């Protein structure tokens, strides 16, 4: 049994619905289908979710919202008409939207969350209707009915363990089950959305719940690339990547798969396959528990900006038991999460996401560090970027670090920081933000472009 | 005004005393002389300190100690006779030793500490007598008289701030002042020794106390080498090294200058010069606050064994505010000091000196980490060594890391760990202990042996 999730671009139009239906019905194992709301059909198009946000805003302002309401309905209507599905489903959607508005009009925050969720919810109804129209047994399954119970935190709901008691029952149902992504229900019965990329989370929860053999994640690329395709022409496609590798890549800027979305399947070791709706024959990228490393210890290069570094130094710091702990405690008191703490003998750097350090917080943190830790020096370094070379098995390969640092040297990128722990999935380099693209390109060329590779045995 | 400290090998025999006297009296600025106890004269010789330890052991056992007592006296007598100093000084030394024995015979720990300190103390008396004998005004100054007050922690005394109120008065005294190294006096009047290398500490305290222009540290090498001379033939001599660089090198295995010994002079910015008693014309190595980096960003390569790594991993660890702090707290509760904490997204390594992890401690630490932090995985990696490339200004030099990692690759040394913070004096690499020598040699050749250097502009 497979769970197939289709992202916004895969369900953006009637044409796409046809592709999806073909994909779903061409493999009997594809019993569970998770859909997003309709995405963009072309560059300047507006996503369904954004139409719904605009609708919510109008209602909140107490203004007339007929136009916005109409745009939402028209988007569904166009798909329904083009697919020749009975138009009664449009009436259902209108009724559904209006009832959400009536229910939550005095609670703008909840209204926004429910309207956003309705984008997926109603789209799932259309998908089920279309499959029926084609003559297949298919059922729309509301997340409450499916058993997706979540914490009541709109925009960042977390799945409750209870879900995994109910979800296995889906295995017993006949036909294709179409489940909307992006939200679940609180125990009080509210629709509550997950964070960004939430449909991926739904797919993963359902896959874990029914103990699927495979979780297929359909999007609009043939595979996950080894590097941001905006930076490199015709980048290498990853055939296999482990959960841990994928998580590191997501952390450092890969937006293709939300890292939180991997957790449910990771725990059960259910493989994920990222595939292209427009080219389902392409093998895609498999996200798995383990992969043979062979001669590809490195699977990807990622980079992300927006980091800063608080650097403290103190003579004989190294002798002070508790220094590091107390430093981290000060940051923790301010709710700051840190990324890495490279250190010398008498100094420690704390790397963190820069947005956390508002001027107020920075002032307080600096004052406390100076006073409580009696440091000799403290300063902040801004506009840093992190570049990561990711790959399991790197650690046991001689020369991986050499290739990376040499690539930086050739590209004249100065290394602000290197952080490689033992038994690592990744090597992390800190560079100035303005050197990020150059750094990523240089690393990519070194690991994936044989033209650039040098053999160490030849340098004597 | 200069403080000149002479190590054990520089005062091991009458011949050496003559060299020292020549050095001291050839420069009028050398007003303050700090001496160690007589060291080894040849490879199989026994140091005075070891003779005194043997004496103390005999007394403690309640056995006859005439032989051991005699060996100590004979060692001084030989020097005194060879220098033709009036032998009355030997009577003074015998009286001094016997009074220490009488005073502390029921407190073996204190007796040992005082007897050890007497090695330096009586040697200073001999040195002052010799200078007098040569016709120079010279005075033996007992540390109590000088004002070296310390905490009452035998074997690890720390200087008390009070000392710096009394020591400046030494400036007003006439003649050459000879002060024994290695110990001070507690406020209760006990002789108490510093830790290993304690004569260096005395010299540094005196230099800081009198605000000397220079602290000369005389030993038996022309300079501090850039690498352990047992590993490399004719190693490069360092002309200048900063306090911070010296501290990093000491930390990672350089035994030439005890790092604690630098603190007093570091705080006042007093330069230190490490010189050779046997070749005082050699310029030696200057330890200073700042040095021009120019084309020598790297000053030395050091390496040390005896480290281990506790590695923990947990999925989504990165999201848990407080994880790192709680991990360090568990170690702190057990009195474990750690060295570095390289980290990935979902894992942290804690590098520490291996001797701290007795089986009991390890068991408790592991149990607490597993229970309190609910980690997915925890393991220990033993027999690690740390290799450090040290040099201020490295951070602003493109290609330093590349050279290092390339050197490891060529030497087929696998890197377990890399830790380079920003604004760093050093880059640290973790390797298996059995690869340490190879790693140090490879790095030395890369940075100091032009035969091995490659230019990055030539690799395309």
Rg value, chain A, Cα: 25
Length of chain A: 460
Residue ranges, chain B, pLDDT below 50: 452-460
Determine whether the interchain pair B322/A332 forms a contact, defined as Cβ–Cβ distance below 8 Å: yes
Position A241 scores a pLDDT of 93
Does residue B453 belong to the interface with chain A, where contact is any CB pair within 8 Å?
A: no
| CATH level 2 (architecture), domain A2-220 | 3-Layer(aba) Sandwich (3.40)
Does residue A432 belong to the interface with chain B, where contact is any CB pair within 8 Å?
A: no
Position A457 scores a pLDDT of 39
CB A45 within 8 A of CB A8: no
| CATH level 2 (architecture), domain A300-458 | 2-Layer Sandwich (3.30)
Tell me the C-alpha distance between A39 and A50, whole Å.
9
What does the CA dihedral B215, B216, B222, B224 come to, rounded to 10 degrees?
-30
Position A398 scores a pLDDT of 72
Is the complex ipTM higher than 0.85?
Answer: no
B5 is in an annotated binding site: yes
Tell me the C-alpha distance between B338 and B307, whole Å.
10
CA distance A105 to chain B (A): 34
- Residues ≥6 apart with Cβ < 8 Å to A340: A349, A350, A351, A417, A419, A428, B342, B343
Position A458 scores a pLDDT of 36
By Cβ distance, the residue of B321, B381, B419 closest to A343 is B419
CB A11 within 8 A of CB A40: no
* Beta strand A2-6 pairing with B377-390: unpaired
Does residue B456 belong to the interface with chain A, where contact is any CB pair within 8 Å?
A: yes
Residue ranges, chain A, pLDDT below 70: 256, 295, 395-397, 421-424, 450-460
User: Taking each helix axis from N to C terminus, what angle separates B400-410 and B436-448, rounded to the nearest 10 degrees?
Assistant: 130
Chain segment B129-163, per-residue pLDDT in tens? 999 999 999 999 999 999 999 999 999 999 999 99
Determine whether the interchain pair B345/A421 forms a contact, defined as Cβ–Cβ distance below 8 Å: no
Could you give the residue range(s) of every CATH 3.40.1160.10 domain in chain A?
A: 2-220
Element (H, E) at A388: strand A377-390
Could you give the residue range(s) of every CATH 3.30.2130.10 domain in chain B?
A: 300-458
Chain segment B273-326, per-residue pLDDT in tens? 999 999 999 999 999 999 887 767 889 999 999 999 999 988 878 778 889 999
By Cβ distance, the residue of B343, B403, B415 closest to A340 is B343
CA distance A341 to chain B (A): 7
Chain segment B82-118, per-residue pLDDT in tens? 999 999 999 999 999 999 999 998 999 999 999 999 9
């Amino acid at each position: 049994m497979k769970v197939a999730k289709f992202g916004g671009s895969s369900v953006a139009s009637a044409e796409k619905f046809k592709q999806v239906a073909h994909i779903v019905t061409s493999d009997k194992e594809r019993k569970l289908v998770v859909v997003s709301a309709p995405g963009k059909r072309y560059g300047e198009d507006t996503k369904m979710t954004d139409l719904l946000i605009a609708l919510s805003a109008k209602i909140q302002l107490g203004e007339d919202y007929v136009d916005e309401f109409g745009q939402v309905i028209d988007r569904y209507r166009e798909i329904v008409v083009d697919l020749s599905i009975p138009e009664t489903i449009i009436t259902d959607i209108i009724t559904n939207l209006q009832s959400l508005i009536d229910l939550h009009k005095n609670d703008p925050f909840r209204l926004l969350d429910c309207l956003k969720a309705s984008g997926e919810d109603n789209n799932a109804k259309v998908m089920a209707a279309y499959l029926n129209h084609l003559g297949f047994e298919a059922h729309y399954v509301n997340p409450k009915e499916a058993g997706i119970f979540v914490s009541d935190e709109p925009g960042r709901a977390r799945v409750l363990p209870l879900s995994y008691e109910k979800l296995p029952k889906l295995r017993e149902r006949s036909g294709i089950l179409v489940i909307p992504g992006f939200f679940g229900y609180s125990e009080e019965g509210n629709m509550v959305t997950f964070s960004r990329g939430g449909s991926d989370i739904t797919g993963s929860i359902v896959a874990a719940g029914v103990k699927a053999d495979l979780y297929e994640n359909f999007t609009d690329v043939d595979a996950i690339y080894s590097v941001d395709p905006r930076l490199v022409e015709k980048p290498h496609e990853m055939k296999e990547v482990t959960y841990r590798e994928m998580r590191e890549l997501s952390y450092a800027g890969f937006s293709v798969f939300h890292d939180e979305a991997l957790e449910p399947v990771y725990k059960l070791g259910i493989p994920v396959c990222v595939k292209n709706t427009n080219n389902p024959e392409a093998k895609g990228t498999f996200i798995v528990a383990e992969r043979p490393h062979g001669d590809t210890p490195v699977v990807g290069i990622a980079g992300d900006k927006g980091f800063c570094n608080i650097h403290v130094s103190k003579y004989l710091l190294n002798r002070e038991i508790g220094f590091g702990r107390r430093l981290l405690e000060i940051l923790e008191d301010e709710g700051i999460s840190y990324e890495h703490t490279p250190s010398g003998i008498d100094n420690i750097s704390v790397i963190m996401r820069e947005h956390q350090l508002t001027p107020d917080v920075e002032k307080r943190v600096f004052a406390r560090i100076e006073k409580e830790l009696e440091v000799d020096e403290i300063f902040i370094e801004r506009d840093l970027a992190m570049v990561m070379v990711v790959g399991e098995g790197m650690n046991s390969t001689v020369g991986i670090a050499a290739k990376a640092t040499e690539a930086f040297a050739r590209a004249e990128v100065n290394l602000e920081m290197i952080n490689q722990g033992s038994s690592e999935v990744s090597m992390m380099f800190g560079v100035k933000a303005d050197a990020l693209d150059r750094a990523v390109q240089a690393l990519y060329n070194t690991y994936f472009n044989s033209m650039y590779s040098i053999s160490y045995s030849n340098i004597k």
